[in-house]
Copies of this chain bind each other. A is one copy, B any other.
Amino acid sequence: MELSRKLAEYSLGLAYEDLPKEVVEFTKLCILDYFGSAIAGSEKVPVQMISELAKEMGGSEQAHLVTGGQSSVLNAALVNGAASHVVELDDIHKGSIIHAATVVIPAALAVAEWKRLSGKELIAAVVAGYEVCYRIGEAVSPSHYYYWHNTATCGTFGAAIAAAKLLGLTVDQTIAALGNAGTQAAGLWEFIEDGAMTKQLHTGKAAMNGLLAALLAQKGFTGPQKILEGNRGFFKAMSEEYDISRVTEGLGSEFKIMENSFKIHASCRHTHHAVDLLIDIFNERQPKLEEIESVMVESYQVALNITDNDNPQTQYAAKFSLQFCSALALLKGSATLDDFSDSMLWDEEIRQLLKKVKVVTDPQINASYPKQWGAAVEVRFANGETVKKQTDFPKGDPENAVTAEELREKFLNMTNKYPEKQRHQLADDLLELEKFETVEKVMVTL
């Protein structure tokens, strides 16, 4: 049977009632975390540009934009998908290297609001969307990730599945939606060289493209049946190596969403291992710049591919500079949203320490990737001391989990542009999402 058919049958067959309680609870945390990122990102410059454009283009009032007002579901997916990725605090799945929330949830939410669907329906659609894109991402990881931004490319399938489920598509329509999601899949890493705003376009467009594929399928628009495994399909065209078995192995007997990692630091996930360890060292000794002789970070190759940058020129590029993030963590003891400011970007001490940070690949750490996103750090001090630390699981991984309380705290911090009462109310609502007969009622509290 074609892979798309298996994924479609599984996804359409998945009912809220089939979900174990822990999956429901975890999924609500993912949705809560999505809202935190989307609200924190809504005023950022690239998001505002996309939002302004969407408003100029206009659209029927179908769903809320996190930037204010309502527009078509496609515009809502575009704007909200861009907003929820920009502060780099959205969730991530190690095995597939995908941030699913920022692509799957905006598409699902727009349809659920538009069609006045329930919290339970939204939760089940989000679980299916995560499942599908994580499986496709695992099949092509890590080779696909060298050129392609998995969140955007594989994420498109997840957005399509979540939308297909909420729109009540048939299996054949859902296969077409997957086909036309895959044929739109795009997003090259080239922008990282310039620290350009492109990453937000990727996630917004992936949410929009997946939704577009599902909306067209509902009208009978046909698509390729074997978009994944076909001779000119997604796997062969876009991945040097891939493992087809990963798409369906264990499908139905596990919930991939439970493998999700949450981000605590506001930088690229590939810097978190080192940031965790260097914050530990900061907490132990609060070193001053002149006391530090050198910092060595050993990690996996992909981390270096994406984050080896010893001279970031923008706040955004700083989030993707392992050297910058390491210097920041060791000198300031944190890597929060507020830390990635222009004054910190050009901070004299950070710039000096940054030059002393060496980043290299360690063969053993590399061999465990992407199962483990690990690192070792070695800090040499001027007094001759050396401190070494190593981690296999940055904070927020399932193996080194954050609590629901910590995630709620993170959410409240990220939404501090709202009054206290409103933030708490929104958190309460989202953590009781299954009780809402229409998701729309949560959206209007925005």
Interface residues of A (CB under 8 A from B): 45-46, 49-50, 52-53, 56-60, 62, 72-75, 146-148, 176, 179-180, 182-194, 196-198, 201-202, 205, 209, 212, 215-216, 219-227, 230-234, 236-238
Contacts and interface: CB of A to CB of B under 8 A. Distances in A.
A183 to B, nearest CB: 5
Contacts of A45: 220
A57 B148 CA distance: 30
Contacts of A53: 212, 215-216, 219
Contacts of A212: 53
Contacts of A224: 188, 190-191, 193-194, 196, 198
Number of this chain's copies in the assembly equals: 2
Closest 4 CB pairs of A and B: A147-B237, A58-B60, A57-B72, A189-B232
Given A57-B59, A190-B227, A227-B188, A221 B201 contact: yes
Given A57-B74, A182-B188, A189-B232, 10 more contacts: A53-B219, A57-B59, A147-B237, A183-B190, A183-B191, A188-B233, A192-B232, A193-B230, A197-B221, A197-B223
A198 B190 CA distance: 27
Contacts of A184: 186-187, 201, 205
B183 A231 contact: no
Given A193-B226, A232-B188, A232-B190, A50 B216 contact: yes
Contacts of A190: 179, 182-183, 224, 226-227, 230-234
Nearest to A60: B58
B225 A201 contact: no
B147 A236 contact: yes
Nearest to A149: B183
A158 to B, nearest CB: 16
B198 A188 contact: no
A202 B209 CA distance: 12
A397 B368 CA distance: 56
A50 B219 CA distance: 9
Contacts of A185: 186
A222 B237 contact: no
Contacts of A233: 188, 190
A129 to B, nearest CB: 20
A186 B223 CA distance: 15
Nearest to A237: B147
A74 B59 CA distance: 11
B194 A222 contact: yes
Contact of A237 (B148, B197, B227): B148
A221 B194 CA distance: 12
A73 B58 CA distance: 10
Contacts of A192: 232
Nearest to A153: B186
